[in-house]
Chain A
Amino acid sequence: MAGHQTYEEQKALVFRGLMLLGAITIVEVFIALLAKGHMIHGVEFKHGFGHYLYMLLMVAFSLYKAYFIIFYFMHMAYEMRGLVLSVLLPTTLLIWAIIAFFQEGGSWGARRELIKEKNEEVVQPAPAGKPTGYLMPGTVLYKG
């Protein structure tokens, strides 16, 4: 609880929060429209380095908004250290979840073409009289 702040300070914080969150949102949308080529004709950041920079910037802005909401609107800044850590530390598990699942998703995407090719492959039937299946010639399965 923000017990050590005066009422006037608290009200000022609310106004500052409104201005801050609103300004960041407007900047975000402006940069998004610029990057997607809606602002200046011929200018866009949809590929390569510019696109990575754009995504990084958007994530950074969002994380800052999240920090402000948690620490000042939800008063996390005035809570005891133990409570802060027990709420925030578990969320670091998500870092691994993001790395692992995005890697996995990328791998599915990379294999899509391979799966398509394999599905379209014409398999020659084995000549009659010869053994078929997975066993290599000469494999002995059972010795009495």
Chain B
Amino acid sequence: MADTSVTHAHDTHEHESDEQLWEGGKSPLRASYGKIMMWYFLVSDAFTFAGFLIAYGALRFSMPTWPEPDFVFASFPFVKAHWPLVFVTVMTFILIFSSVTMVRAVQEGHRENSRGVVFWMFLTILGGASFLGCQAYEWTTLIVGENMTVSQNPFGRHIADGIYLNADGTEAKNEDGTAKTFKKDESYLLHKHDGKFDIPKIRYTSGSYAGQTTEASFGPPAFGALFFFITGFHGFHVFSGVVFLTIIMLNAGGSLYAARKNGYEMVEKIGLYWHFVDLVWVFVFLVFYLL
């Protein structure tokens, strides 16, 4: 391994002068240049993501209402039911698995086992690709099925108790004849019919708006913009990760890294990046889906 050989080399010259240190050969922080730089790139990337997620929090706190994640993210492929947060849990598990297979690839690299590296990296790439497929499904559901865009968010929540009205202003009834009411904080989705949004009339019966008749409003548009930008930026990281993993897997299958005799350090570096993508997802998952 690279760092042990460096340490051994220096055991024999413990009393070298400062001038001799300028000649190189000693790694600061006892890690290779590439690994240190990967760490510092990840620090800067962490700040970018933190900036996005903090912007999400600031905008969310500034709005009187915000869409509920368990209402917005409740679809599942091939199932018509309302399954809150189940699909995104599957996505989280896919990323955890691909992180675990990546650790195995790095370990096999340290043993200079080319076949092991390729095998575990291949599983990691499969995980990354499946995650991207899941994200494509999630985006398609939101964009095509539920008409959410970066500037328009049909997921709203009522700011007070009230009652739905018919187009002529009379009170709407449920099928069993009771009044069609809604509660404060209740979620709703505005649907499109024949290319036009079908926006119900409502009358508030509580709070400072009691007695006012109005139309149900769209949710905060910032929600759509933040969702697509932040999950998109993360998805782009996953995508570029898959591309780099593929290149490095092909190199590892050839003799390139074996010839370097440094314990497949390139695999270790892309491993750091890949774990970071999983790390960011922990916080995207927290901010968008759990809180």
Distance between B28 CB and nearest chain A CB, rounded to angstroms: 8
Whether the Cβ atoms of B30 and A80 lie closer than 8 Å is yes
Whether the Cβ atoms of B279 and A1 lie closer than 8 Å is no
Query: Which residues of chain A come closer than 8 Å to B92, judged between CB atoms?
Result: 25
Distance between A100 CB and nearest chain B CB, rounded to angstroms: 9
Is B93 engaged at the interface, CB distance under 8 Å to the other chain? yes
Binding-face segment, A3-11, A122-130, A134-142? A3-11
Is B22 engaged at the interface, CB distance under 8 Å to the other chain? no
Is B201 engaged at the interface, CB distance under 8 Å to the other chain? no
Whether the Cβ atoms of B29 and A32 lie closer than 8 Å is no
| Best-surrounded residue of B29, B36, B59 (most CB of chain A within 10 A) | B29
Which A-chain residue is minimally distant from B96 (CB atoms)? Answer: A21
Question: What is the predominant secondary structure among interface residues of chain B facing chain A?
Answer: helix
Considering only residues 56-84 of chain B, those with a C-beta below 8 Å from chain A are 57-64, 68, 70, 84
Whether the Cβ atoms of B58 and A102 lie closer than 8 Å is yes
Question: What is the predominant secondary structure among interface residues of chain A facing chain B?
Answer: helix
Whether the Cβ atoms of B43 and A87 lie closer than 8 Å is yes
Is B103 engaged at the interface, CB distance under 8 Å to the other chain? yes
Closest 4 A/B residue pairs (Cβ) = A105-B58, A105-B61, A108-B62, A83-B29
Q: Which residues of B contact A (CB under 8 A)?
A: 1-4, 28-31, 36, 39-40, 42-43, 46-47, 50-51, 54-55, 57-64, 68, 70, 84-85, 89, 92-93, 96-97, 99-100, 102-104, 107, 110-111, 185, 263, 268, 271-272, 275-276, 278-279, 282-283, 285-286, 289-291
Q: Which residues of A contact B (CB under 8 A)?
A: 1, 3, 7, 10-11, 13-14, 17-18, 21-22, 25-26, 28-29, 32-33, 36, 38, 46, 55, 58-59, 62, 65-66, 69-70, 73-74, 79-80, 82-83, 86-87, 90-91, 94, 97-98, 101-102, 104-109, 112
